[in-house]
Structure formats: structure tokens, C-alpha cells
Amino acid sequence: MTYVYLISAIILEVIGTSALQASEQFTRPKPLILTAIGYAASFYCLSHVLRTMPVGIAYAIWSGLGIVLITLVGLVWFGQKLDTAAVAGLGLIIAGVITINVFSSTVTH
């Protein structure tokens, strides 16, 4: 269940961040409400992850994958562009998350 909660927390955070972008600096109420709900639900799910996974590891995975996913949302839905350095940095984040999950003994499997 740990990874179900972790994946849920990541997806909900990405939804909240996407809605934050769509809120146009808090001028649109519906996306703003979705932002608050998305973040609250994300932190709720993340709190369940912390029962079995160390906070540093959980946060590294949550934030790292969240960064990558919200970047993809920015590319697809908001038409944002990436340069070579950004792509390389995202690759390093993905490599870090994989390294933690495959090689770290602090992650519950």
C-alpha cells in the first residue's frame, strides 16, 4: 500500500500544481479550489507513506517524480518549452529516483 499512497500523492500534487497554473495567480476560483484540494489530498496520502518509509526518501521520490510529471504537463497542456540543460537535469532526477528505489535499503519493497 505504501507505493499506492506514494503514487496517489504524486498524482494529486501534479493535479494541484497544474490547477495552480490554471488559476492565473489566484484570479480564477475553480482552479484555486482544485489546487487546495489537490495539495491537501497529496499531503494526506504522503502522510500514510511516512508510516513505512523514511521522510527523506519519501520526499525525494515524491518531489522528484512530481517535478518530472509537472514538466510533462507543462509541455503538453501549457505549451512550455525545455532546453537541453533542463532535459539533462530531469534525466538526473529520474536517475536519482531509480537509484533510490533499486539500490537503497531504506526503501520498503
pTM of the complete model? 0.87
The string of DSSP codes covering 19-82 is HHHHTTTTT-HHHHHHHHHHHHHHHHHHHHHTTTS-HHHHHHHHHHHHHHHHHHHHHHTS----
Domain count, the chain: 1
Predicted confidence (pLDDT) per residue in 6-21, tens digit = 999 999 999 999 999 9
Q: What is the pLDDT of residue 109?
A: 55
Q: What is the pLDDT of residue 53?
A: 92
pLDDT at 56 over 60: yes
Q: Would you tell me how many other CB atoms lie within 10 Å of the CB of residue 107?
A: 18
User: Is position 51 within any domain?
Assistant: yes
Show Cβ contacts of residue 61 under 8 Å, excluding neighbours closer than 6 positions.
Answer: 6, 10, 97, 100, 101
pLDDT at 63 over 70: yes
**Domain region containing 7:** 2-103
Predicted confidence (pLDDT) per residue in 24-33, tens digit = 999 999 999 9
Query: 53 near 4, Cβ under 8 Å?
Result: no
User: Is position 55 within any domain?
Assistant: yes
User: Is position 30 within any domain?
Assistant: yes
Q: What is the pLDDT of residue 105?
A: 83
User: Is position 108 within any domain?
Assistant: no
How far is it, in rounded angstroms, from Cα 62 to Cα 7?
Answer: 8
User: Is position 109 within any domain?
Assistant: no
pLDDT at 99 over 80: yes
Q: What is the pLDDT of residue 108?
A: 63
Mean pLDDT value of segment 85-92: 96
Mean pLDDT value of segment 39-68: 95
